[in-house]
Amino acid sequence: MTSPALTHAMGSFANTHGYLSAATMGLPTCAAVAEMTEKLQQWATATCNPMNYGDIVERTRGHYARLVGIDSTRVAIGSQTSVMASLVACSLPAGSHVLVVESDFTSIVFPFLQHRDLVVQAVPLAQLAASITDSTALVVFSLIQSCNGKVADTEAIVAAAAQHGARTLCDVTQAAGVYPVDATQFDATVCHAYKWLCSPRGVAFSQSLKTSAGTSLPFRLAGTPVMMCGAASTAPK
């Protein structure tokens, strides 16, 4: 027996029984296809008003915020997680130690490897929490690994990061929409919506870093004082 919610969800899609590749590419709902078709038609007939996009973006930020349990003022939109991870990479002082997971998705690993100024260490997922030390500035990991579906032990990782004063960046692309996400645990998250959130490619979210005042801050770019969770510093950890 299926619940009314599941029946409603199943009725929201075209008949795609047997499709098992949402981890690669999620499918759109019929409503999303109708809306996009209408918008394309408006674009093609020069009747599109870009001023209307703002409301859609605000609603979308609100949806992501609700889904992962944070305030929408902390949610930024973008086109790809790799771009957003790059902003975080650029915000780190030279010499910062970044811990990543072996075989994690390239979009959250390569932006840090590209920065010769950063010291990046890759460890197996199971050893991530135990590998955090006082010299770790940032721990980067996917909540669910795209290559094998393994779920990170967020409790252990977050506890170890707090103990050693490290920040956390969690990619929730393979989790949001299909697995519970409590983004309040992390300093920042990134998420591309084209998997379990059934969007087209090019819709991504990031959650800005917390400050000690409890407000949000946009990511800072290289060369400016870095503020991560209220700790203003230009010196590498």
Ligand X SMILES: Cc1ncc(COP(=O)(O)O)c(C=O)c1O
Binding site for ligand X (CB under 6 A): 80-82, 105, 107, 142, 146, 171, 173-174, 192, 204
User: In the complex, what is the shortest distance from the CB of residue 182 to ligand X, in angstroms, rounded to a whole number?
Assistant: 17
Instruction: Closer to ligand X by CB, 174 or 227: give it.
Output: 174
CA–CA distance, 80 with 202 (Å, rounded to integer): 6
Instruction: Closer to ligand X by CB, 81 or 199: give it.
Output: 81
Evaluate whether 186 touches 170 at the Cβ level (below 8 Å): yes
Torsion over CA of 172, 210, 54 and 202, rounded to 10 degrees?
-30
User: In the complex, what is the shortest distance from the CB of residue 37 to ligand X, in angstroms, rounded to a whole number?
Assistant: 24
The β-bridge partners of 100 are: 122
Residue type at position 131: S
CA–CA distance, 102 with 213 (Å, rounded to integer): 34
Instruction: Closer to ligand X by CB, 107 or 168: give it.
Output: 107
| Phi-psi map region of 28: left, alpha, beta (phi>0 left; psi -120 to 50 alpha) | beta
> How do beta strands 97-101 and 188-192 pair?
unpaired
Instruction: Closer to ligand X by CB, 219 or 237: give it.
Output: 219
* Packed helices 106-113 and 81-91: angle between N→C axes, nearest 10 degrees: 30
Instruction: Closer to ligand X by CB, 175 or 227: give it.
Output: 175
Q: What is the DSSP letter of 187?
A: S
User: In the complex, what is the shortest distance from the CB of residue 105 to ligand X, in angstroms, rounded to a whole number?
Assistant: 4
User: In the complex, what is the shortest distance from the CB of residue 23 to ligand X, in angstroms, rounded to a whole number?
Assistant: 7
User: In the complex, what is the shortest distance from the CB of residue 26 to ligand X, in angstroms, rounded to a whole number?
Assistant: 10
